[in-house]
Structure 1
C-alpha cells in the first residue's frame, strides 16, 4: 500500500468517525467530505489536493510518527468551515484516532501537543510527554524480534528466545521533538545491552551490574513528511562496549544438559500431588521422576514458577530447599533433575552453573 492509498484509507476512517460523532454530525455546516479537509490539515496541508501532490512527489509517506498540526486544523475547520472553536480538540483527537488505530496505515499520531503551544509534561514529572512517548515508540520499533538489531546479537549469543533480556539506553535531546526538528534527519546515541544471566537477578539487571554483552551505536530517523518521521533504523559499532561472555558462551557451545530420562507421566503426577498438598505415597519414595515433579511444586510452588520464567538459579535453590525438607533420597539429584526436566534452551546454562556451584561448595566442605 503506497502513501496515497494509506491516506485514502485514513480519510475513510475519519469520515466515519465524524459521521458517528453526535455533536459534529448534527452541525448545520457538517459534510462527510470535510474528512478530506481535516485529514490534510492534520498533516499540515490546506487541502487534500496539496497533500496528495506531496505524496505523489514522495515528500509525504503517511507512515511512522506524526505530530498533528492543530493550528492548521483550527484554520481550516474552525476559521474556514465555521466549526465551533470548542470542538477543536475533538477534531484533533479524531484525526489521531483515524490513523493510529489501523495497522494498515502504519501511523502513530497520538501525541500531547503540536510543538506550537505550551509543552505538555508527564504528570508529576519534568519530562516532556511527547519526548517520552516518541522515545518509547522508537525502542519498541527496535525491539521487534525480526528487526536487524536482533539478528546482530544472534552472531554473538546462543539464545532461541532472547526478547526478555535486552535493555536500551537512547539519548534523546531534552527538547525533542521541537518545531526545529521537523523535516530533519536526526541521529540519537544508543546503547543496547543483553543480559547474559538471562534475568536471573532482577536487581542486578535493574542496576546494570549483571553480566552484559553491550554495543554502542546510533538510531536514525528520517522525515516521513512535513510533520513526522519514518520508523527508526539502527547502526551498531562492530566492537562491543561490554563483553562479559564466558569462554563457552564465546564459542556458542550447546548448553542443554540432557539429564536423566524421566518419565513424563510420573513427573506430572508428582507435580499434581504437590499442588494438592498430598503426602508422598510409600510406593513413590524411590521414584526419581515422581519426586522431581513433587519438589518443583511443593510448598508455594515457586520453583516451578521460576523455571517457567527462566529464573533457573532461583528455581534450583528453591527446589533443593524443598527436597531437603522432605525425607527423600539424594535431594540434590532430585532437585537438579526436576529443574532439568523443565529447562528451556535459554536458561539451561544458568541452571547448570547453579548446579555445578552447589556441587563445588559441597566438595569444599
Structure 2
C-alpha cells in the first residue's frame, strides 16, 4: 500500500510550551578559565566470565597483557597465553576545573576488540592523558556495565550495551592543571546561546548588582568583566557575587523537528504570515492475486500461472481550508492544528514547505 498525503499548510507544537522565564547567570554563560579537560587512555579489563576478546582477532590485547605480567615479574615469553577473560578498552574521563591532586573522578570504559560483555570485570591501572600528552589521572576499579547479554546454543539476547560501562570514582587525580585563576585581572563570560539582547541584559544586571560599571558587552556572545574595578578581593569572590544574578534571556523564534520520532517543538515567539490550511488523503492500493490454470485431464497442455492485479484509488474527504490571520500566535496555531487533526509526521513535511515559502518566521532546525 502506498499512502500519499496532500497537506497544504500548518504549524505544529508539543503541548505545554513554557514562556520565557528568569534564569541564573551561571546557567546562561561559561566563565573564562572555568572548564574541564578531556582525558583518554588505553587499558585492560580482566575477570570477565568468558566474554573477553578473542585473542586471534585482537592480538593487541595479548601483547598488552604479556607486558603487564612481565612488569609484575611473571615471565610468559613463548607460552600459549590465550585467556578469554580479558578485554582491551579505551578509557575516557573529564578532569573538572580546579581539581586537586588526590581527588577522584568517574571514568568510562569501552571495548575496542570483539569482547561480548564487560559485566563483572575490573579495570587494571590505566594512565589517562590529556591533549598535551601528560598523565593527569590514573584509573582502576570495578566496571559497572550498561547492559546485560545472555546466550544459548541457538539464540542470544542483549539488553542495553554490555560492551561499555563506568567505574564510579575510579580515577584519581595525579597532576593538577597549571592555571592561576586568582591572578586574572579580567574574565570573559561566554554566552551558551549568543544573543545581543541577552548580552546587554547581562551587562546591565552585573553593573546594577555591583553598583559600578565593571561589565562590558563585547559582542553577542561575550561580556567582559573587569576584576580590578569591582573592588573585591579576588576573581573567585567576584564570580560568587554575580553567578546567581537573575536574568531573563531573549530567545530566537525556533522550530525543532525530529524526523525519527516525529517530535515537533516550537517556542512562543514563532509567528506565521496569513495562510490557508487544507488537508486531504489519497490512498493507492495494489494487490497481486495470480491464478493457476490447469490443463484438462489426459491432455498435452501445461500448467500456466495467469497474473491478476487489482488496483484501486481511494480519496478520503479533506478537512477543507482554514485561514490564519497575519501575526498568528502560538495559541491560535495550536487550536487550528487540533481542529485539523494533522499527525506529527505529516506536520514535519508541511513545516518544510512553509519555511521554503517564507511564511514561517522562525529558525527551522531538523535533527
TM-score, normalised to structure 2, is 0.20
RCO greater where, 1 or 2, for CA within 8 Å and sep 6 or more?
Answer: 2
Asked which structure has the greater CA Rg, the reply is 2
**TM-score normalised according to structure 1 size:** 0.20
More strand by share: 2
Structure having the larger proportion of residues in helix: 1
